[in-house]
Structure 1
Amino acid sequence: MLTIGAFAKACRLSPKALRLYDELELLRPARVDPDTGYRYYAPEQLEQARLVAWLRRLGMPLARIRQVCALDPSAAAGEIRAYWARVEAETATRRDLAAFLVDHLSHVTRHVPRKDTTMLELRYCALSDIGLVRPANQDTAHAGARVLAVADGFGAAGAPASTAAVEALKFLDTEPLVAGSVLNLLEDAVQGATRAVQGVTQSQDAGTTLTAMLWTGSQLALVHIGDSRAYLLRAGELFQITHDHTMVQSMLDEGRLTPEEAKAHPQRALLLKALTGGSPVPVPDLRLHDALPGDRYLLCSDGLSAVVPTAEIQHILTTTPAPDQAVQALTGAANDSGGPDNVSCVVADVDHSATLSR
């Protein structure tokens, strides 16, 4: 038997950590002296202790370490692989935010006035369709002077919930915008949308997704909760700029599912985040996108993205010149594929409006 000091030295865990893991029933000593309370460990416990130490170095939470230690080696390896895939996905999100902040602050500090300033304008259209199967339309789509939004309601009060969420953002179409505070303004507006949804839903069985963008004249601020999506078509390439808040997407991030398995998963519509009448209030994804002339943005409910292949969506957006024609073509493609759900989409184009000389 090894004393706690000798065992700590051998497994690279401190005596304090070993006492904590004993209290948490993560790593119990082989024997505790009934008179002195001294802990003693068996040499065969070293392998588990080293595993705990390594997992802590990975940053794995103690609750998950307990689960890993209870598994056979093959299953434990799968859990570690899934955990690290999730860490990498979260790190990528933080990396994107860091890159945005570096770029944003760099532009602020090295700003040089230009002789000519290119003014941009947004051309847009929204369309919502009941589809071919559902008895009612619980989607809401809006395209205004500044606000673009799609909300996909669910449950008994899904339609009022999606309408309330979008209505709560419409004041931003005319609200004065202050440079540097757009994301804060949009986040506050989402809090208002949350209260509006709570006012029309009486239980957590009803709610809505919300994906919206706020146009500043040169940038688009994005807010996203749920599995409606936003895409950017730039230079012929289509990019999904939102991340689905679904159980299946979480399993994809963790490496538990392949993309092929995800398409047929029975819980692919199960949301991890949505605006509901319950608590806690979900934290939305917030990002700021610099707009370029020629950019085309698409916001849509999963009645489009889950039914029409991405390649077909890209083809329609690339070949259909006007936003009103594009939303008609996208809705038609969803219905041609069976129209199993309500389908809503907003298409917005960034164009030159004028060039002003200083």
Structure 2
Amino acid sequence: MAGGRMLTIGAFAKACRLSPKALRLYDELDLLKPGRVDPDTGYRYYAVEQLEKARLVAWLRRLGMPLARIRQVCALRPAEAACEIRAYWARVESDTAARRDLAEFLIRHMSATSRKDTTMLELRYCAHSDRGRVRPANQDTAYAGTRLLAVADGYGPAGAPASSAAVAALRFLETEELGAGNVLNLLEEAVQGATEAVRDAADGTAEAGTTLTALLWTGSRLALVHVGDSRAYLLRDGALFRITDDHTVVQSLIDEGRLTPEEATTHPQRALLLKSLSPATTPATVDLRLHDAEPGDRYLLCSDGLCGIVPDAQIRHLLTTAPTPDTAVHALIDAANEAGGPDNVSCVVADVVETTADVFGSGS
């Protein structure tokens, strides 16, 4: 390669239709190393023979293939690479079909007419937390009330007090006046209080902290607050949607294309959090958003003791077939324990049900 014709990074980028910025990234990732680097200026040069691989990388990026998978494809013989690309595209088409279903749901949702004034919605709910089969103690906290649903997964020496304090700090929302425009501001302020409560509960233990995923019911909407790797799911019309993003190192690597979801399941840092409520860090920026509710919706909040070991397809099946929130919660926890129960597992399941205007209260 050193004896062939060399191109500057600019000329090479133009020839293969990859930007110089992309080429520098692929060099750092050992995906496409330059043929020569000037020892004095650090300027990159590429051999003409590298154009074929560079164009393949560009084409695969246009397909949307993650960089980690592109590296695998480029290492294969042409026939094997073709099979790998075919398998990847089949997965893309499957995912696209799922997104199409979501788009159709959103179209129906946004086009729906307002409900009659005589119709009300309420929650039927259940919460439970289990130690699992391996951990010596339970550091999770799960809570469900008429308005508030919450799961917190504590960690460190004071993990249990931290998760309990975070959820307890939100309990006042059960009786707080909820104006139409201030619910997210109210949740944000409540999380600030939860952060202080975690700091007090940790009692000087810097390594302690907790995740927090909670939903606040307004009567027609659910306001979400989320930080960490506990999760919230929505089951609607038989389809399961994850409505939170994990604040973890591996999720950031997936988002950047440096790791595939399959590789993430065995990554040594898969439990390493980027955000949490902890006295050791500055106050975390939490995710806040509103979700309109529909009759028949079923929501799941869970710690990673469930979603980290039970596949989404099985979670969807159990949520779909369980007749009540209580049976759903216990079926999910049983599934996690049957899979080995390596972590504490906590679940909250809540159904959105339609009632008439003269019916009040909610069940658990």
TM-score, length basis structure 2 = 0.70
Runs of 4+ with >3 A deviation = 43-50, 64-73, 75-78, 112-117
Q: 1:323 is matched with which residue?
A: 325
For the Cα contact (< 8 Å) 1:203–1:276, is it kept in 2? no
Displacement of 1:218 in angstroms is: 0.5
Residue 277 (str. 1) matches residue 279 (str. 2): yes
The number of residue pairs the alignment matches comes to 287
Letter in 2 for 1:344: S
Q: Say if 1:312 and 1:74 are closer, same or farther in 2 by CA, change over 3 A.
A: same
Q: Say if 1:85 and 1:169 are closer, same or farther in 2 by CA, change over 3 A.
A: farther
Give the Cα–Cα distance (whole angstroms) in 2 for the partners of residues 197 and 65 of structure 1: 45
Instruction: Say what the alpha-carbon RMSD is for the aligned residues.
Output: 3.4
Q: Say if 1:113 and 1:310 are closer, same or farther in 2 by CA, change over 3 A.
A: closer
Worse overlay, 297-306 or 260-269: 260-269
Displacement of 1:45 in angstroms is: 8.5
Give the Cα–Cα distance (whole angstroms) in 2 for the partners of residues 274 and 113 of structure 1: 38
Displacement of 1:256 in angstroms is: 1.1
Give 1:24-35 correspondences, 5 Å limit.
none
Letter in 1 for 2:209: G
For the Cα contact (< 8 Å) 2:295–2:352, is it kept in 1? yes
Q: Deviations over 1:43-77 (max 9, x none)?
A: 96866999xxx979xxx8xxx99877878781598
Q: Say if 1:200 and 1:237 are closer, same or farther in 2 by CA, change over 3 A.
A: same
Q: Structure 1: where are the runs of 5+ without partners?
A: 1-42, 87-98
Q: 2:183 is matched with which residue?
A: 182
Q: 1:263 is matched with which residue?
A: 265
Q: Deviations over 1:59-111 (max 9, x none)?
A: x8xxx998778787815988xx7xx989xxxxxxxxxxxx9xxx9xx99xxxx
Q: 2:45 is matched with which residue?
A: none
Give the Cα–Cα distance (whole angstroms) in 2 for the partners of residues 340 and 114 of structure 1: 45
For the Cα contact (< 8 Å) 1:48–1:69, is it kept in 2? no
Q: Deviations over 1:172-217 (max 9, x none)?
A: 0111111111111001100100111111222431100000000001
For the Cα contact (< 8 Å) 2:23–2:32, is it kept in 1? no
Give the Cα–Cα distance (whole angstroms) in 1 for the partners of residues 149 and 198 of structure 2: 18
Q: 1:74 is matched with which residue?
A: 32
Aligned counterpart for 2:338 among listed residues 329, 336, 339: 336
Residue 243 (str. 1) matches residue 201 (str. 2): no
Letter in 2 for 1:198: R
Q: Deviations over 1:99-144 (max 9, x none)?
A: 9xxx9xx99xxxx987544200100010000011100000000001
Letter in 2 for 1:170: R
Displacement of 1:276 in angstroms is: 0.5
Q: Deviations over 1:258-294 (max 9, x none)?
A: 1211111111111111110023211001110000000
Q: 2:133 is matched with which residue?
A: 132
SS in 2 for 1:282: coil
Give the Cα–Cα distance (whole angstroms) in 1 for the partners of residues 28 and 116 of structure 2: 67
For the Cα contact (< 8 Å) 1:212–1:299, is it kept in 2? yes
Give the Cα–Cα distance (whole angstroms) in 2 for the partners of residues 234 and 182 of structure 1: 24
Q: 2:297 is matched with which residue?
A: 295
Q: 1:30 is matched with which residue?
A: none
Letter in 2 for 1:321: P
Q: Say if 1:192 and 1:137 are closer, same or farther in 2 by CA, change over 3 A.
A: same
Q: Percent identity?
A: 65
Give the Cα–Cα distance (whole angstroms) in 1 for the partners of residues 342 and 115 of structure 2: 51
Residue 205 (str. 1) matches residue 207 (str. 2): yes
Give 1:1-358 correspondences, 5 Å limit.
74=32, 116-201=117-202, 202-355=204-357
Give the Cα–Cα distance (whole angstroms) in 2 for the partners of residues 85 and 181 of structure 1: 40
Q: Say if 1:295 and 1:156 are closer, same or farther in 2 by CA, change over 3 A.
A: same
Give the Cα–Cα distance (whole angstroms) in 1 for the partners of residues 154 and 33 of structure 2: 38
Give the Cα–Cα distance (whole angstroms) in 1 for the partners of residues 27 and 259 of structure 2: 23
Letter in 2 for 1:331: I
Whichever of the two has the greater Rg, that structure is 1
Give the Cα–Cα distance (whole angstroms) in 2 for the partners of residues 303 and 114 of structure 1: 38
For the Cα contact (< 8 Å) 1:131–1:339, is it kept in 2? yes
Give the Cα–Cα distance (whole angstroms) in 2 for the partners of residues 354 and 310 of structure 1: 34
Displacement of 1:166 in angstroms is: 0.3
SS in 2 for 1:276: coil
Q: Say if 1:333 and 1:352 are closer, same or farther in 2 by CA, change over 3 A.
A: same
Give the Cα–Cα distance (whole angstroms) in 1 for the partners of residues 116 and 220 of structure 2: 17
Give the Cα–Cα distance (whole angstroms) in 2 for the partners of residues 47 and 70 of structure 1: 20
Q: Say if 1:73 and 1:66 are closer, same or farther in 2 by CA, change over 3 A.
A: closer
Give the Cα–Cα distance (whole angstroms) in 2 for the partners of residues 342 and 183 of structure 1: 29
For the Cα contact (< 8 Å) 1:298–1:346, is it kept in 2? yes
